[in-house]
Structures are given as structure tokens and as C-alpha cells.
Amino acid sequence: MAHKNSVVLVTVSGQDGPGITAQLTGVLSQGNVTILDIGQAVIHNLLSLSILFEINGTTSSSNPGDDKAAVKDLLFKATELGLKLDFRVLNGEYNPEGHFSTKAYRYAVTLIAKPISAQALHEVTAILAKYKVNIDIIERLSEGEFSCVEMIVSSSEEPDRTALKKELLLIAKKQGVDIALQAEGLFRRAKRMVVLDLDSTLIQAEVIDELAKEKGIYKEVSNITKDAMAGKMSFDESLRLRCEKLKGLTKADIEKVYQRLELTPGAQDLVIVLKTLGYKIALISGGFSCIADRIKEKLGLHYAYSNVLEFDKEGLTTGKVLPPILNAQRKADLLDVIAQQEYIHLDQVIAIGDGANDLLMLEKAGLGIAFNAKPVVRERADLAISQKNLRSILYLLGISGRDLAEILI
């Protein structure tokens, strides 16, 4: 007598080719089975296909009364196609209610390096195992060099994310790889707005230091800048001190600075991709509008907010900034205001910056990314990236190199 409702998992592997999945599912369609799950991956033309199905009593007119007929038919077809087939009967092991449990904690772990070493991959997966986190999916996002891989992982119990993140950061530092740990869910895949700092983030310089070079006081000003970015001095105080030293600069001096500024590698690609995908992009900088507004225009950004230098009637800087000063709190407030204006949930906002003045903004956003940041910022941000190219940010959104190639033709 046939056993009813057996659950079987078959795994097929071998050389890939068109029509394989069609022929195998065609075999199942001839039997009295219900497909419960399916997954397929192809790496360098080698196929791995798994199908989970339930046998509803007698399954094949060619072999009545045999509840393994579907497996036998699949085995014959796989052999005919030159493939290897393994199977397991999961009676008593399969729990349909818990298979896609909403109680599972799911995360995306992204590794970025040039290239990712086997040791780095080993140490990350070992730490995940230590915290009883299971790897569900591994996908390579980079094209060409093995420089980015994303793992979707899950756990039936919530792991200690703070401790897990700390151990991942130790691996990152030791192995020279960026490791991002994010909650996996709708909001990770549905970001709608990006807010960027300007100095040492969107561009490869600190504008105020470059202005100081024009006046011959670079060392004095850069020392104050370093203290401010490291959180050793309030931003408001440091800005006033530095601006006082810049008194007497001409608009021609500022033009010289603008002309020699260089965008961070990948900045234009980042903006093009995000705009193509419908993101709103804002520049919120503690720098100066005479530079920030022109960067906004050059890249076609939607918003730009920054401090405004005061000029006298002769067109010289007075050494003062027009109030209100755009400091850390105002950066965070402006992010909130823009999100509200655009009807965008804060969880759908990404903030990117490098200095202590960006911390509140990074914390306000659903995802705060420290980009080549100071140690104090790396420790407190959600994610820290040490790559020198802003395109790497796109990998954190699950965008692959193939996706980028479609847009950046």
C-alpha cells in the first residue's frame, strides 16, 4: 500500500545547459506531487538545483503503488542529461509551518576587498557558526575580480549583534576586508534617499584646508580641522576659529580651490545609479555653499545645504559665517526635514560621512555608513567602509556588478 504525503528533497548537479530545469519539472508534472520549494545556482557553468516536493500518494501510472516513482523518474532523466542526482526523504524532519518562519532573524553579510581572501571568508563563516547563524544564500556581487560577496544568513534566536559586529570588525582589520552586517528585510532593499557629506566623502579634500593653502596658513587650519573631525573640539568652535584665519580671501581664491578639487572615485557612478533607480540625493555639509552648491549643480543632486561664508562689499571674506551654523545637530535635523518633505521613512534613508560632525546624521538615518572615516566614527556607525571608491556603497544595497553594467553603459 502506498505511503501518502512523503516529502522528498532532490539535488541535481552537473554541467549546466538550457532546458534542464524544464525537463526535470516536466517529470514532476507527470506525477501526483506538490512542489514545496526550489532553488538553483550556477557557478562557472556548473549547476546545482534543489527541489523539495511532497508525494501525494500514488505518483506515477508507470509504476502504480510506488510512492518513490517520481524520484526514480527524476533519476532516469538526470542520468539521461548527464547529471548527478541525490535525494533524501524528509518524513518527520520537514516542518512546513517553520520553514519560512517570521520569527527567524535574518541578516545580510557583505564582504568587500580586492580580492577577498579564502582566510577572510573562512574566519567570517566561522564566526557566524559560533553565533549559531546559518548561511542560507551566498551570492557574488562583483564582476571580474572576486571582490564582493553577499551572504543572506538567519538564526532562530536573535544573536548578540553588538558582540558579533565587534568580532567581524576585528576580522576586517586583520584581513584587510570590509564586512557589513545589516538586518535583511524590506527596508534594506527599499532605500529611497541618500545623504552625503562633502569633505573627504564626496570629494577628496577638506575644503577649508584647501582655502587655507591659498592664504598660506594650511598647517594652522588643518590642525584645528583634525581636532574637530576627531571629536576633540566642538564643530562650532573649530569653524569659528578657522574662519577667522581665512579673513581676506577673494572669490578668485575660492575659484582656484574649486577648480583643483577632485571627486572621490566612484562618486559620479554612485549618483548616476542612484538617480536612475529613483533615489533622492542630498548633500549636507559643514563646509561652504560657495563650493557645495557648485558640486550639487555639477552632479545634478536634489538638495545641498552648507555653511555660508560672509563677504564684505569688496568681495573679501570677513572671517565670519552667516548663522545658523550647520553643525552635527543641524545635519541630522536637515536629513529628517528632507525625508519628511519627500514622504520617505527614515529607515529608507542612507547617510554617508567620515567625521565626528556626521555622527548624529549617521545615527538618524536607517543606515549610517562611515566612509574612510575617523576611528570614533567607525566605531559608532552602522557600517564602516575603507574602500576608496564610492561605488562600493552600491554593493551594500545588494546591487551587483552586472546590475551596474546595465546602467553605466
Catalytic positions are: 197, 199
Tell me the angle at which helices 235-245 and 218-229 cross, rounded to the nearest 10 degrees.
170
| Integer Cα distance of 336 and 378 in angstroms | 22
Give 280's DSSP letter: E
Peptide bond into 18 cis (omega under 30): no
Residue 123 neighbours by CB under 8 Å, 6+ apart: 171, 174, 175
Find the distance separating the first CA and the last CA of the chain, reported in whole Å: 62
| Nearest in space to 215 (alpha carbons), one of 165, 241, 254 | 254
**Residues across the chain:** 409
Residue found under cell 563677504: 311
At 295, is the secondary structure helix, strand, or coil?
Answer: helix
Residue 364 neighbours by CB under 8 Å, 6+ apart: 332, 335, 336, 346, 349, 351
Other CB atoms within a 10 A radius of the CB of residue 126 amount to 11
